[in-house]
Chains A and B, each alone.
Chain A
Amino acid sequence: MPSTPPEESAREGLFSFLSRRRFLKAGVVAGGAILGVGGGGLLALRGHAPSVKGLRALDAHEYRTLQSLVEAMLPKTDAVPIDPASMDLPRAFDAFLADEPKHNVEDLQKALVLIEFGPLVFEGRLTTFSRLAPAERAEHWRAWALSDNLLRRQVSIAMRKFLNLVYFDHQEVWPYIGYPGPSMMRSTAR
């Protein structure tokens, strides 16, 4: 092991923007509002999250938030009739995070808190993201991308960067978008 502290703090990550001072400030303000106004009662809004075995970076609540997010971002549609739950993208996310520096993981965890309490923080509704009905959740998440609030747009972009990349890298999606797969794979199959 290095005799001096690791220098991984120099490394950027997919969610490194989340660590910017501005985000932290906003995240802390939002988190503080949640905790300050409602204390444990509001945190209890999240309810119980079923335990998930084998997670390396996320806890059960974070995993559930990501599950809900995936349903909103990559829904089963007529165009692409695939249930994203079959891919377990939150677990892929967990595996990704397990190889990220600690500060990146912490930044993302703050973002997930913000997403979960988004209906409360940004719309004043006494509920959480995971408790919204699917149509409401989709509409709520759409508002993040189109928001005047830079922070919400940033979170939206970062989540899309990771989850979309992994989702559309899945072979079972390709027939629905007209992609025959990597050219070398095709030539091997012939």
Chain B
Amino acid sequence: MSGSIIDLSRQAPPDRIAAEVCIIGSGCGGGTAARLLAEAGHEVVVLEEGRDVIGAERTQRDGAMYDQLYMDRGGRATHDLSVSVLQGRVLGGGGVINASDVVPAPEGVLRHWAAKFGLEDFAPERFQVFQEAALDDLSASRIPEELVNLANDKLRQGATALGLRGEVMRHNRVGCRGLGTCLIGCPVHAKRSPRMVALPHAIRAGARIYTRTRAVKIDKASEELKEIKVRVLDPGGYHEHAELTVRARIVIVAANAIASAQLLLRSGVGNDHVGRNLTLQPQLPIIGIFDERIAAFDGVPQSYAVTEFEEEDNAEYGLWGYRIEGIMGTPGIVSTLLPLSGAEGMRAMAQYDRMAASLLLVPDAPSGQVQVARSGRLTIRYAQRRDHQERLRHAVENAAKIYLEAGAKEVLVPTLPPLTIRTAGDARRARELGFEPATAPLISAHQQGTVRFAAHERDGGADLDGRVYGTRDVYVFDSSGFPTSASSHTMTPIIAASRMLTSKLLTRI
């Protein structure tokens, strides 16, 4: 029997829904689990707070798309506004609004997890089969040369001239037309995201997917039959207008490392590890300004990465060092990242078509925390550590040299105060950047940790099956479980981990 996508904001919701398995979140983790469980014959419902925004509704416009595709209308941030926390809120989750980068968890990271945290199932020789399956799900391939736009090529030119290692990245696009707005949804569905792969499979196998549904509490988490309290949102996703209860024997939370922990905390489910060990991988944009027209808004926004400075087997943290990756956004979002407004801001934006920008992706130590107040309000506590600031300074200095080598007339570091670098000698000034709170437009697109997988309850929030300690069949199947940064881009590791954990679950049910 075929399932369906049901937008509960547009019909009278039932009081109750029953299923064998309830999955909260429809992204890489939840979508993958839904598919595998439904295909194995289990009765699955998926709850997704976002809506199914497809085709022409993906307007490529900043205002509407950040409003409809991102959590908190694009406004989510850490407690002191130092880091913007980007999280999808749409059917298909983060896979709909990411840069389509396919970067499996490196072997060094997997060995680190197995050795330090006892995650034997993630050891390279065991996890490899799931990573390969994830690559198949994603139709992963190297980005073809014709889709490497001039902005990314400038990064490559500069890095190559300086003798720095880099690569054209792998992606999950099929039939890409280089429309340029990957971060606010592809209007022609070139991304092989969960929306286009896992969820259609799940639906064909009978899964029911309820959109505009916000799971707010899991009751009876230690009993056989769990009750999930759900609020139904209005069509815009702004207000709650009805409620219902989902009853299920198995609950899989896969709502992203922030929202999964938030739900568990609000439910009073799990041990003291829940919410802790958050990593954000904060990234800093840096902008090369050229005399020539770059038109970075056309083509694949992110196709080249300088990998020279990346470390994949750091003894303490696994993934370390940093990467420099090309990027571009639509005018609205780019303007919000510039340091100043007023006449200076207008002058900077007037150079929009001559910008080639990068994100300096610097993995961080697990140090943040998701907290939920008695009122239910979320706080993401995060303080940038000194080691992160130090690597970020190095990254700024080297990225500036790369763009200058590629012919940039100047490089803008969008800190407060702004730093403009015009010569390689100037680049040393990056060493003086203070990175005080709310002085740099740091962005997090890869939240991880918060319900760390661990062999023993004293060391983490969920066991090696993904089961939340202290519960009966309540699981986390997303990046919440990763004890440190899995990869510079988390889509592939999340799909692989969900595949592995679901396959284990299927042996028990």
Contacts and interface: CB of A to CB of B under 8 A. Distances in A.
Interface of A: 1-4, 6-17, 19-20, 72-75, 77, 79-80, 96, 99-100, 138, 141-142, 145-146, 150, 153-154, 156-158, 160-161, 163-169, 173-174, 176-179, 182-185
A164 B335 contact: yes
B475 interface: no
A115 to B, nearest CB: 13
B187 interface: yes
B385 interface: no
Given A12-B378, A165-B66, A154 B60 contact: no
A24 to B, nearest CB: 12
Contacts, number: 185
Given A20-B79, A96-B73, A184-B187, 12 more contacts: A10-B378, A19-B377, A72-B341, A79-B346, A99-B236, A150-B80, A150-B437, A156-B341, A165-B63, A173-B331, A182-B60, A184-B60
A7 B438 CA distance: 29
Given A14-B72, A72-B341, A177-B353, A182 B61 contact: yes
B47 to A, nearest CB: 14
B7 interface: no
Contacts of A75: 342-343, 346
Contacts of A99: 236, 238-239
Interface of B: 59-63, 66, 71-77, 79-81, 177-181, 187, 214, 216, 231, 236, 238-243, 262, 266, 293, 295, 297-298, 330-336, 338-347, 349-354, 372, 375-379, 416-417, 436-439, 441
Given A7-B376, A165-B336, A166-B63, A183 B75 contact: no
Given A19-B377, A177-B352, A2 B243 contact: yes
A15 B266 CA distance: 22
A178 B352 contact: yes
Give the interface SS of chain A, mostly helix, strand, loop or mixed: helix
Given A145-B340, A146-B417, A179-B353, A15 B345 contact: no
Nearest to B380: A12
Interface centre among B71, B266, B333 (most CB of A within 10 A): B333
B61 A77 contact: no
Contacts of A160: 335-336, 341
A157 B346 contact: no
Given A178-B353, A179-B353, A73 B242 contact: no
Given A165-B63, A178-B353, A13 B73 contact: yes
Contact of A161 (B178, B336, B372): B336
Contacts of B333: 165
Given A75-B342, A165-B63, A8 B336 contact: no
A13 to B, nearest CB: 6
Contacts of B347: 77, 79
A59 B60 CA distance: 32
B342 A11 contact: no
A164 B66 CA distance: 13
A16 B77 contact: yes
B438 A177 contact: no
Contact of A164 (B73, B341, B344, B378): B341
28 contacts: A1-B241, A1-B242, A8-B239, A10-B378, A14-B72, A15-B75, A17-B81, A20-B379, A75-B346, A79-B349, A99-B236, A146-B417, A161-B75, A164-B332, A165-B335, A165-B336, A168-B62, A168-B332, A168-B349, A169-B63, A169-B332, A173-B331, A174-B331, A178-B293, A178-B352, A179-B331, A182-B61, A185-B60
A48 B433 CA distance: 44
A2 B343 CA distance: 48
Given A165-B62, A168-B335, A178-B352, A154 B438 contact: yes
A179 B352 contact: yes
B350 A80 contact: yes
Nearest to A99: B238
A147 to B, nearest CB: 9
A50 B118 CA distance: 67
A62 B8 CA distance: 36
A5 to B, nearest CB: 10
B332 A165 contact: yes
A74 B295 CA distance: 23
Contacts of B81: 17, 153-154, 157-158
A161 B339 CA distance: 11
Given A9-B375, A154-B81, A177-B331, A169 B343 contact: no
Contact of B349 (A16, A165, A177): A177
